[in-house]
Amino acid sequence: MAEEQEQDLQAIMGLIVNGGNAKSSAFEAINAAKTGDFATADAKLKEADHFLVEAHNSQTDMLTAEANGEHAKVTLLTVHSQDHIMNAITFRDLAGEMVELYKRLAK
């Protein structure tokens, strides 16, 4: 595999793996909030944010290469990775709202 293809694959997998981890952490935050464990919920949201930053770094690498004229071949895997990260971002945002709602209900 050519070095350029390997770098593309690493960036794509960075989006998929970190997006999945972010979504999982956000889901764990909701489950913790359901039981009234708001310290864990907040920690899991922070963990989700960390994974999203890592995913963003992978995405930035891809965009930088594109801006430098290194056009990546758009494959189904590339599209899937972008979809994966966008869903993770949306889920993280919703999880934050749900944790806040559980906090209000607990008062």
- Cβ burial, residue 35 (10 Å; 0-12/13-18/19+): exposed
Q: Which of 50, 56, 71, 80 is catalytic?
A: 80
pLDDT class of 99 with cuts at 50, 70, 90? very high
Q: Which domains does the chain have, with CATH numbers?
A: 3-106 (1.20.58.80)
Q: What is the DSSP string of 48-80?
A: HHHHHHHHHHHHHHHHHHHHTT-PPPP-HHHHH
Model's pTM, two decimal places?
0.89
First to last CA, the chain: 57
At residue 1 the predicted structure's pLDDT band, cuts being 50, 70 and 90, is low
84 catalytic, yes or no? no
CA contacts within 13 A on the Cβ side of 53: 6
More confident of the two residues 100 and 59 = 100
What is the pLDDT of the chain when averaged over all its residues? 92
